[in-house]
Structure 1
Amino acid sequence: MAKQFESINARLKDFIGRQHIFFTASATVSSRVNISPRETGCLRLIDANSVVYLDRTGSGNETAAHLRADGRLTMMFCAVAGPPMILRLYGRGRAIHRDSSEYESILASHYDGLEPSGARQIIWLDIDLVQTSCGFGVPLFDYKAERTSLDQWTEAKGPGGLEIYRREKNTYSMDGLPSGMFDEH
């Protein structure tokens, strides 16, 4: 049932465009495995083998720490409406820091220069394998709307409060790995 591809083709690009959520998975040899849900509004396909997503401030920064230490990243999309399918994008990723010129360039060229509240970095994935599988076991759900909780939380914190929070919660992973978020760039 599983099929492998070297890159994202038009059919898979269309599938990604119809999803409302995806998941990222990362780890190092000695760390815990981290799996995080992401909203697809922050995702952009750069080309058939590269995707990025705007990463917003959260309670940890496991993905960035894992990418800095190991580099492996998997993204998974699963159809919760329409025909069943699971799509995984495997590859190597990296965090692009918010205060870098590369971040500004990607923001301008792929996000119309618009940054959601609480944006902290962009995660870039270079894809080396694309795999689909049946998705027969994925339940059906009806999409209602995006949650506004994160927007409200980041706006209440404000820029200064977010900086303090990031330094406290996003500098190291739960396993003590540095995220690189405050390294000089």
Structure 2
Amino acid sequence: MGKVFAEIDQKLQAWIEQQPVWFVATAPLSAQGNINLSPRGHDTLSVLGPHRVAWVDYSGSGVETIAHLRENGRVCLMFNSFGARPRIVRLHGQGTVHLPGDVVFDEVTALHPEHPSTRAVINVEVHRISDSCGWGVPVMEFVGERDLLRQHAEKRGVQGMEAYRATKNAVSIDGLPGLPVSR
């Protein structure tokens, strides 16, 4: 059986920050809606306190995480060790979306390398922290980060990325509002 933590302490924070990939899950309120589970990587995540994490959100082919958080805020982040010592940690919380010009956006993006694909910052107030064994997860080796998002965004340029977001990130696959079209 796993452990439930009162807060993200320094030891847990260090372990979380060592994980090269993590996952974020959200869902719309509608039972007919689609649950979304997305992998994340790069230097995007910040542990900002014992009950607060945030990440720099890059443009993607969809906008489900943002749309679901704007609708209901429910979110679960999962960190998984693929190294020799198995472990899974889940952070359950209430997430909010912050766009360029917002104080939280500026606070979090200042902690990470600038990236041309940055579209938002997601802030999570964590209300439950738990871990489990991870014994069934394979041991794998981290080779390196992919640079395809950066290349994609640099090739499109600022105006091209705005046009991309206007067509790909304005509405979720369930028809929920995503990013505002004109920012």
Q: Same fold (TM over 0.5)?
A: yes
1:51 corresponds to 2:53: yes
- In structure 1, the gaps of 5 or more residues are none
Question: After the TM superposition, which segments of 4 or more aligned residues of structure 1 sit over 4 Å from their partners?
Answer: none
Match of 1:166 in 2: 165
Q: Distance between the aligned counterparts of 2:155 and 2:12, measured in 1?
A: 38
Matched AA of 1:84: P
1:175 corresponds to 2:174: yes
CA contact under 8 A between 1:96 and 1:122: conserved in structure 2? yes
- In structure 2, the gaps of 5 or more residues are none
SS class of match (1:84): coil
Match of 1:5 in 2: 5
Q: Distance between the aligned counterparts of 1:154 and 1:184, measured in 2?
A: 18
Q: Relative to 1, partners in 2 of residues 1:100 and 1:183: Cα closer, same or farther, differing over 3 Å?
A: farther
Match of 1:34 in 2: 36
Match of 1:80 in 2: 82
1:130 corresponds to 2:132: no
Point out the more displaced range, 162-171 or 95-104.
95-104
Matched AA of 1:182: P
**1:105 CA displacement:** 3.3
Q: Distance between the aligned counterparts of 1:161 and 1:102, measured in 2?
A: 25
Q: Distance between the aligned counterparts of 1:13 and 1:100, measured in 2?
A: 25
Match of 2:15 in 1: 15
TM-score normalised per structure 1: 0.92
State the Cα RMSD in Å: 1.6
**1:117 CA displacement:** 1.6
Match of 2:101 in 1: 99
CA contact under 8 A between 1:72 and 1:91: conserved in structure 2? yes
TM-score normalised per structure 2: 0.93
Q: Distance between the aligned counterparts of 1:170 and 1:29, measured in 2?
A: 19
CA displacement 1:87-140 (0-9 Å, x = unmatched): 0000000110123343223323x33xx421210000111000000000001101
**1:183 CA displacement:** 7.2
SS class of match (1:41): coil
